[in-house]
């Protein structure tokens, strides 16, 4: 069965430190991978996506993610965290033959950046 | 803002009420979605409309009834809901079909409380 795992419910990072939010997946064939962010009382916002090519994808607000096919992972990273990065982060995946609405979502990781 | 609006933002209703949620997208997309978001759970896809035709209905109870009168508007009609239906209801839109792999754009959500 296809699935997405975000193994950490919450990640705590000090401001200025690097951050990583983990995502692993299981999908048939090669995947399309997405990260979204949800700020309090807001809907989800698209951050970045991996389609093909360079395994390191750069997105909005200084975030990047690295696609690792052998480890079936797509971890979200940022070199220096800001307090304003505190939010809920969702990883999503779909197979290349699937339609856009067949996204499989992770349960989300709450990121807390402390001053 | 993402170009997807939802009204109302908050709704409290009794189990015998009938209410409707409204979503409007200003992005020229051809697909629209309803999701249910509950705490610490993956997003649950409820309904998908592509080119105004319903293409997905994930075993949603009949007390939820969608309506898509045109490609820009989506409604979710609610009646005789249960307390467990209390959640954040998110509307999203995207471009469906080649070329490209398209992300979804989300509205801010309607926080529904069933008493």
**A43 to B103: CB separation less than 8 angstroms, yes or no:** no
A59-93 tens-digit pLDDT: 999 999 999 999 999 999 999 999 999 999 999 99
- Mutation pick from A7, A23, A44 vs chain B, by most beta carbons of B within 10 Å, is A44
Compute the distance between CA of residue B28 and CA of residue B45 in angstroms, rounded to an integer: 21
Above 90 in pLDDT, residue A5?
A: yes
Q: Inspect the interface and report whether the beta carbons of A107 and B104 lie closer than 8 Å.
A: no
User: What's residue B99's pLDDT?
Assistant: 66
- B106 Cβ under 8 Å from any chain A Cβ: yes
Measure B52 CA to nearest chain A CA, in Å. 14
A105 Cβ contact list (under 8 Å, min separation 6): A4, A90, A91, A92, B42, B43
Tens of pLDDT, residue by residue over B25-82, are: 999 999 999 999 998 888 999 999 987 788 777 789 999 999 999 999 999 999 999 9
Which residues on A lie below 8 Å from B105 (Cβ)?
46
The DSSP 8-state label assigned to residue B62 in this structure reads T
Tell me the β-bridge partners of B77. B20, B65
pLDDT in tens, A34-50: 999 999 888 899 999 99
Measured between beta carbons, which residues in chain B are less than 8 angstroms from residue A46?
103-105
Q: Is the pLDDT of residue A95 over 90?
A: no
Which residues 60-89 of B are in CB contact (within 8 Å) with A?
none
Higher pLDDT, A95 or B5: B5
pLDDT averaged over every residue in chain A = 94
pLDDT in tens, A96-114: 888 777 889 999 999 999 9
Cβ pairs A/B, distance under 8 A: 59
- Verify whether the Cβ–Cβ distance A106 to B96 is below 8 Å: no
């Amino acid at each position: 069965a296809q699935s997405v795992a975000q193994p950490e419910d919450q990640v705590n990072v000090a401001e200025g430190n690097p951050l990583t939010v983990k995502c692993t997946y299981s999908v048939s064939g090669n995947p399309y991978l997405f990260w979204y962010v949800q700020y309090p009382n807001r809907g989800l916002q698209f951050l970045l996506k991996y389609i093909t090519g360079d395994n390191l994808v750069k997105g909005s607000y200084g975030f990047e993610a690295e696609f690792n096919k052998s480890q079936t992972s797509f971890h979200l990273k940022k070199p220096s965290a800001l307090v304003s990065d505190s939010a809920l982060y969702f990883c999503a995946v779909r197979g290349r033959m699937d339609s856009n609405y067949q996204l499989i979502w992770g349960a989300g990781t709450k990121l807390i950046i402390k001053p | 803002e993402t170009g997807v609006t939802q009204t109302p933002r908050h709704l409290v209703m009794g189990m015998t009420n009938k209410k409707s949620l409204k979503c409007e997208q200003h992005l020229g997309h051809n697909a629209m979605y309803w999701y249910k978001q509950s705490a610490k759970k993956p997003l649950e896809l409820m309904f998908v409309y592509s080119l105004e035709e319903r293409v997905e209905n994930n075993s949603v109870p009949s007390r939820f009834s969608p309506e898509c009168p045109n490609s820009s508007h989506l409604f979710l009609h609610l009646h005789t809901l249960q307390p467990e239906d209390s959640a954040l209801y998110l509307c999203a839109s995207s471009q469906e079909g080649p070329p490209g792999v398209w992300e979804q754009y989300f509205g801010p959500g309607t926080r529904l409380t069933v008493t």
